[in-house]
Amino acid sequence: MEFHFLDRFQHMAPPAGGDVLKMASAPGVIPFSAGNPSAETFSLKEMEQVTKNLFAQKGAAALFQYGVSEGYGPLREFLQNRMKSKHGTGRESDRLMITSGGQQVIDLFTRLMVNPGDAVIVEEPTFMGALNTFRSAGARIVPVPMEQDGMDLNRLEQVLQEEKQIKFIYVITTFQNPTGFSTTMEKRRAIYQLAQKYDVMILEDNPYFELRISGEYLPPLKSLDEEGRVIFAGSLSKILSPGVRLGYAQAHEDVIARMTALKQAEDVHSNLFFQAVAAEYFARYDLDAHIAACTALYKEKRDRMLSLLEKNLPEGVTFSRPEGGLFVWLQLPEGLDGSALAARCAQNKVAVVPGAAFLADGTQVSAGVRLNYSTPSHEQIDEGVEILARCVREIMG
Amino acid sequence: MEFHFLDRFQHMAPPAGGDVLKMASAPGVIPFSAGNPSAETFSLKEMEQVTKNLFAQKGAAALFQYGVSEGYGPLREFLQNRMKSKHGTGRESDRLMITSGGQQVIDLFTRLMVNPGDAVIVEEPTFMGALNTFRSAGARIVPVPMEQDGMDLNRLEQVLQEEKQIKFIYVITTFQNPTGFSTTMEKRRAIYQLAQKYDVMILEDNPYFELRISGEYLPPLKSLDEEGRVIFAGSLSKILSPGVRLGYAQAHEDVIARMTALKQAEDVHSNLFFQAVAAEYFARYDLDAHIAACTALYKEKRDRMLSLLEKNLPEGVTFSRPEGGLFVWLQLPEGLDGSALAARCAQNKVAVVPGAAFLADGTQVSAGVRLNYSTPSHEQIDEGVEILARCVREIMG
């Protein structure tokens, strides 16, 4: 029979993450394409202990029963307190809800706001998972170039003036995916002021901000928000585990109330047992010490990759020098195609993600590719950068 | 500031499940309002053992990393095989994916199919979670009366003739929520033939069908499907645990491909560790024996509730005699209001769900209320039915 899916799903990209995962995990392939944290950062021993304790406690059965859509109380409280006291986000009228990863925050908020044809402003390049969510809602995706210090503000204002039905600005403020760039405080303030001026909301996706390796701490854009204009999307994927699928939204109570109602219609609630595991883990262990151990590991890998890129890449090729997160953005001289480089790398068993995957219009050419340093081993970084540099020279002729 | 949510979310009901949960779990309240399985049916000891083994295995870290959106391979295979060999569903072109509960199957399929204004045909009364999902997509919900043996077929055909832009028929074929009624094989076939005749799809929600207490086994409507017209929504909530949020869709490969792409944009994948727990639990223990133990427990509770209703209720009040599942549907004489009965019961510390919650238009009056027998203890059933019967007599004057 013929299926009559909505038009926008006829053109929706197949699960790119799945393909990337499959390719990166093929035997012998060097996984510079990964988007995940290093498995070395998972606190398996501690989670095992916490799990054991939870099963042993008197009320264990309650963790297997239905829970409330806004999430497990102790986890919500821990995150709300941490965000407020450590990162300065959350006013009197703000609330926090638990989601199935940061991805679900993007999805729920988009569904609340976007009719087919409405506009969403994004940094370009930006996270492909968010682009797919916006596509699934039928949004017009309006790109604004991402610069080393954040969005191009002139272009942002121009777009705010010209476009109709703009629903929100989507920004990844710290250690952006895919570029590794962070938006400066000055630009965070400017973006917030522009959002006020043109009365649009801001979806701040900030899954990596706790993974700072070097440089000055930058509070979330949400910390500037006095009126409920900013929805903060947080994630436990990079500080606990991606596989357990836990994230959170911090936003005005009216926004959280709608997102909670929609979450109930979407999946009722997130895995309750692992919400309790996370809450117990955070209560019993020192999260900041854990994060410090993660970033120490990532510092070695990042420094290794950056110094090898510096040494091996030919002139004319640029790359970002991220102060944290998981990604380096490599850019070929103008006119060259990152997809060609990615294909050549793949032939030589190095997986990288072509920049086109991060464009609003994925059929356009990008001179960039995204490199991940959290997943490969030191040996893979050494070997991979050497192969990559050879491929770059070949592409550049 | 003023928030500009889409119109359809201005009128979306607050999380009813949450309210129901909170009321039913208040101290001293008899929880006839619950929609959950009995905590006595959770295999805590076995899940604890499986969990311990998973942490001890060599590849444990992989269960905390990102997984693929279609779900954990061994769990998909187990469910696909079980559905095929035991229940006769799944042709060559059908595939199975893992979701975050049966609710997410309803959500994903609805998002693929329904533009605001499109029609979805439902049994009336029907599951309020599905109604909220349809509302979140802006669907026109077209009700067809639910009878003791399934939908009113004359009305169904009339609606299929008259309505425009019908996307699918939503049916809960076995031990329906809230009525406890099951659709006979004859009506399953008739519904399938009508769906063919008018070229609409069928979303078969079937979370309770494994919980048969008595009567003749009914294969899923999906087992009749040769062409990919039926999407089967399955759930592990009632045979393993609702809190771990696992369900599955079985459907044509083209449908599963789109649902998988959309799931990636919605939440990437479901909790991976508990997908592995479920797969290991099913591999190591006898699921049919576990289900037999569950239904033996439920038989005692159901029989107790039905015989007390029989004994205590005044003439003119009817109630369903379900052969399984979790619910009994009680109906007052025509003209009386189930919401008034529910309110009176609540004053007397018995929680029941008013029938209006299960109507396409929730502002209409329903003479019914839903009773749950899986959660209350024997003592609570005894005391609760007595109070309920007294309230019924008061309502009837």
Q: Tens of pLDDT along B269-286?
A: 999 999 999 999 999 999
B33 part of contact set with chain A, CB < 8 Å: no
Assess A229–B contact: CB distance below 8 Å, yes or no.
yes
pLDDT value of residue B27: 85
Determine, for residues B136 and A268 on separate chains, whether the beta-carbon distance falls below 8 Å.
Answer: no
What pLDDT was estimated at residue B17? 47
Structure tokens belonging to residue A306? 């950056």
A220 close to A89: Cβ distance less than 8 angstroms: yes
pLDDT band (50, 70, 90) for residue B26: confident
How many cross-chain Cβ pairs, A to B, lie less than 8 Å apart? 257
% of chain A with per-residue pLDDT over 70:
96
- pLDDT of B152 > 50? The answer is yes
- pLDDT over 80 at B18, yes or no: no
Per-residue pLDDT, averaged over A146-174, amounts to 98
Residue type, A338: G
- How many Cα atoms sit within 13 Å of A295 on the Cβ side? 18
Q: What's phi and psi for A127, nearest 5 deg?
A: -55, 125
pLDDT per residue as tens digits for the range B39-57: 999 999 999 999 999 999 9
What is the reported pLDDT for A27?
85
CATH architecture type of domain B7-36+289-395 = Alpha-Beta Complex (3.90)
CB contact under 8 A, B199 and A241: no
8 Å CB contact between B316 and B177: no
pLDDT value of residue A17: 47
Mean pLDDT within A162-171: 97
Half-sphere exposure at residue A313, Cβ-oriented, CA atoms within 13 angstroms: 19
pLDDT in tens, B308-322: 999 999 999 999 999
Looking at per-residue pLDDT, the higher value among B27 and B341 belongs to B341
| Contact predicate B326/B179, CB 8 Å | no
A397–chain B nearest CA distance, Å: 37
Q: What are the tokens at A98?
A: 């638990």
Average pLDDT over residues A25-41: 91
Dump pLDDT digits (tens) for B153-184. Answer: 999 999 999 999 999 999 999 999 999 999 99
Which pLDDT does position A149 carry in this prediction? 98
Q: What is the mean pLDDT of chain B?
A: 95
| Chain-chain contact of B35 with A257 (C-beta, under 8 angstroms) | no
Please state which of the four CATH numbers 3.40.50.1100, 3.90.1150.10, 3.30.70.141, 3.40.50.10800 is assigned to the domain occupying A7-42+289-396: 3.90.1150.10
DSSP, res A379 = H
Is B270's CB within 8 Å of A245's CB?
yes
Q: Is A301 on the interface with B (CB under 8 A)?
A: no
* Residues of chain A with C-beta less than 8 angstroms from the C-beta of B99: 267
Model pLDDT, residue A21:
55
* The pLDDT value given to residue B276: 98
Domain range annotation of chain B: 7-36+289-395, 45-284
CATH class for the domain made up of A65-284: alpha beta
The predicted structure's pLDDT at residue B21: 55
Interface check A285 vs B, CB under 8 A: no
- With an 8 Å Cβ cutoff, are A3 and B243 in contact? no
d(CA A322, CA A302): 8
Name chain A contacts of B48, Cβ cutoff 8 Å.
Answer: 55
Q: Which CATH code fits B45-284? A: 3.40.640.10
Q: Please say whether the beta carbons of B131 and B103 come within 8 A.
A: no
**Does A300 reach chain B within 8 Å, measured CB to CB?**
no
Q: Mean pLDDT over residues B226-255, rounded?
A: 97
User: What confidence tens digit (pLDDT) does each residue in B110-149 have?
Assistant: 999 999 999 999 999 999 999 999 999 999 999 999 999 9
Q: Are the beta carbons of A264 and B70 separated by less than 8 Å?
A: no
Q: What is the pLDDT of residue A291?
A: 98
* Greater model confidence, B101 or B23: B101
d(CA B326, CA B238): 9
Please tell me if residue B71 touches chain A, with a CB cutoff of 8 Å.
no
Q: How near does any CA of chain A get to the CA of B362, in Å?
A: 16
Q: DSSP strand E in A6-106: where?
A: 30-31, 94-99
Interface test with B, best of A266, A326, A374 (most B CBs within 10 A): A266
